[in-house]
Chain A
Amino acid sequence: MNDTRSPLQSIAIYLGALLILIWSAGPFLWQFSTSFQLDKALTSGSPSLIPSPFTLEHYYNAFVEKQLHRYVWNSLVVSLATTFLCLFVGSLAAFALSRLNIKGRFGILMVILSVSMFPQIALVGPLYLVASNLGLLDTYTALIITYLALGLPLVTWVLFGYFETLPREIDEAARMDGVSIPGLLWHIILPMSLPSLVTTGLLAFITAWNEFLFALAFTSNIDHQTIPVGIANFTNLYYVPWGDIAAASAVVTVPLIVLVLFFQRHIIEGLTQGGIKE
């Protein structure tokens, strides 16, 4: 395919690829390196990518002084609950839209997708009033209910796309054997959709893990605040603790990056299906 490429073109392509690599990974590598450097080294005026001397001071500060683990715990509870609820509700809806005889299902799908385009700032005021009236401020519940609705459109859309690729003969055969409708979903469609469930689950998890606006509005103390709110509030009285922030960034971002890299192919496929191709 590439026999026609001249040396000059090859160089241009590799140079471009290198630029993309630096663009994508460079800033975070610098942030990661920062997290291991002493404040003195960071303000010395001659930055170096290799931490010397190497220090874990910032990680100590992040966990002991700023109680990072409590934010991590809150985020884990909220994000995992959101993920499972999203998968449950989303797969029911996607299954119904894909496999049952529903009139105007394309319209329904478009409505579901368009919901994800609503500006979230328009939702936060009225939802705050509801949460306040129901006594749900500073609870996990308020966040989970909100994130379920935020994640649901994408989850439903991607799962629907996947269910559509499963051959319908399987349904017919199962129906012949007397499998009920919930049985068809639970015993046949879902086990076959495992890769898609993992991807969509990861997308829902990331949505909840990274969400800031609602967490900021609905929670006011460390008992229920999630990581983004915690990190946003990472300030000291007299200076910005860049090293501590870098350490906290590394802690909450590295696991996410590992997960994403592990599932990268599925993620790209899933998202393009949800966002563009259809």
Chain B
Amino acid sequence: MSAAVDVSGTGRPRRLGKALPGALWALLLLTPAFVSLASVSFYPIVNGLYLSLTNTSLITQDQDFTGFANYVQLWGDAQFWNAWWHTMWFTLASTTLETVIGLGMALILCEAFKGRGLVRAAMLVPWAMPTVVTSKMFGWLFDGQNGIINYILLHAGLIEQNVNWYGSTQTAMTTIIIADVWKTTPFMALLLLTGLQTVPNSLIEAARMDGAKGWITFWYIRLPLLMPTLLIAGLFRALDAFRVFDLVYVLTGGGPADSTETLSTLSYKVLFSTLQFGYGAAVSTAMFVTEGIIALVFCLYLVRQIRRAQ
């Protein structure tokens, strides 16, 4: 990760900026970006921390400091833990499926075949589509009565009667995971493909010469070399999956019977339906902390993997 920066660090032009010293120019050019990120990203996080320690509500107009009262309430809030577990499950299931299926797709794309460009182009379709549209589209595909998925499964003899996919507590979360896997896997595959293409072909050729079978070259050469890419892509994906909102909010709204409620949809409801901005901030701060822990665990694992590889 730091290699690129080290290389670019050499030969830095020293004599830039006659009228203004270089440092002043740097400050000037970075200011707009800093102002933007500070006001729209850092300020809300800090302000959210403060709000989570107050009983701010737009209904009662209260705004008093209450210490950790919100967090105490949060700890005993069954709805919060319900959403927390759903979010963790969603993150784990979708990230794992997307990484594994994405790797399979990348391995196929790695081979030369006619029409590869077409396939690769088509893979950007799910990524480019607005998530709200994906959500509505899956609403139609998985519709309990006239959905094409039910029709196909029924005629293939895989189910005996129409499944009420996202209308039943049994299958709603699974439907959302399928939608997310559909949307994100092809893109994941494209990321992994660029990683695979950096594995030197000579290594694989050499192994083949020595009589190694396809899966052996995969297991002992490609996979270990791909590991850092795989882990980083997985991390980015997990962090993104953890804040899932659009898909759930539009497809099920957290229902039926809270069976698909995630931390983002719960926060949104607490904020904008009950207008309890203090408690809502506590929910989203708890979410921020969980996300931080996921990132930390991933990074520690990544560092260990890289160390072991060296």
Contacts and interface: CB of A to CB of B under 8 A. Distances in A.
Contacts of B43: 126, 130
A119 B194 contact: no
Nearest to B192: A276
Interface string A16-43: 1100110111011011001000000011
B100 interface: no
B37 A260 contact: no
A152 interface: yes
Given A31-B137, A42-B146, A45-B146, A119 B242 contact: yes
Interface stretch (A50-58, A191-199, A251-259): A251-259
Nearest to A246: B140
Contact of A13 (B29, B111, B295): B111
A117 B8 contact: no
A236 interface: no
A267 interface: yes
Interface residues of B, number: 109
Contacts of A97: 30
Contact of A181 (B16, B37, B185): B16
A245 to B, nearest CB: 5
A20 B119 contact: yes
A89 B37 CA distance: 11
Interface string A238-278: 00101001100100110011011100100110011001111
A21 B122 contact: yes
A252 B37 contact: no
B112 A1 contact: yes
B4 interface: yes
Given A21-B118, A45-B146, A126-B44, A92 B33 contact: yes
B128 A119 contact: no
Interface in B108-142: 108-109, 111-113, 115-116, 118-133, 135-141
Nearest to A148: B36
A278 B42 CA distance: 24
B148 A47 contact: yes
Contact of B32 (A10, A93, A126): A93
A2 B111 contact: yes
Contacts of A153: 37
Given A93-B32, A122-B287, A168-B11, A21 B140 contact: no
Contact of A213 (B112, B124, B138, B268): B268
Interface in B11-64: 11-20, 22-23, 25-26, 29-30, 32-33, 36-37, 39-45, 47-48, 51
B13 A121 contact: no
Given A24-B125, A264-B121, A125 B264 contact: no
A119 B264 contact: yes
Contacts of B271: 124-125, 128, 217
Interface centre among A42, A99, A234, A246 (most CB of B within 10 A): A99
B2 interface: yes
Given A264-B120, A276-B229, A121 B140 contact: no
B256 interface: no
Contact of A252 (B23, B32, B133): B133
A228 B130 CA distance: 7
Interface in A166-213: 168, 171-172, 175, 180-181, 184, 206, 209-210, 212-213
Nearest to B127: A260
Nearest to A92: B29
B236 A16 contact: no
A156 interface: yes
A238 to B, nearest CB: 14
Interface centre among B36, B229, B285 (most CB of A within 10 A): B36
Contacts of B141: 27, 30
B290 to A, nearest CB: 9
Contacts of B267: 121-122, 125
Contacts of A130: 43-44
Contacts of A180: 17-19
30 contacts: A2-B112, A17-B119, A24-B123, A43-B145, A47-B146, A47-B151, A89-B33, A92-B30, A100-B17, A119-B264, A119-B284, A119-B291, A121-B263, A121-B284, A122-B287, A123-B41, A123-B44, A125-B277, A125-B280, A128-B271, A128-B272, A149-B37, A171-B16, A175-B16, A181-B20, A210-B132, A227-B130, A231-B130, A242-B140, A264-B124
Interface of B: 1-2, 4-5, 8, 11-20, 22-23, 25-26, 29-30, 32-33, 36-37, 39-45, 47-48, 51, 104-105, 108-109, 111-113, 115-116, 118-133, 135-141, 143, 145-146, 148, 151, 182, 185-186, 189-191, 194-195, 201, 208, 214, 229, 232-233, 236, 239, 242-243, 245-246, 249-250, 263-264, 267-268, 271-272, 277, 280-281, 284-285, 287-288, 291, 295
Given A25-B122, A123-B44, A212-B246, 20 more contacts: A16-B104, A17-B109, A20-B119, A20-B189, A28-B125, A34-B140, A45-B151, A100-B25, A101-B13, A102-B26, A121-B284, A124-B44, A149-B36, A152-B37, A210-B132, A212-B250, A217-B271, A232-B132, A240-B143, A264-B124
Q: Which 7 A-B pairs have the closest CB atoms?
A: A149-B40, A96-B29, A93-B33, A126-B44, A122-B284, A210-B130, A228-B132
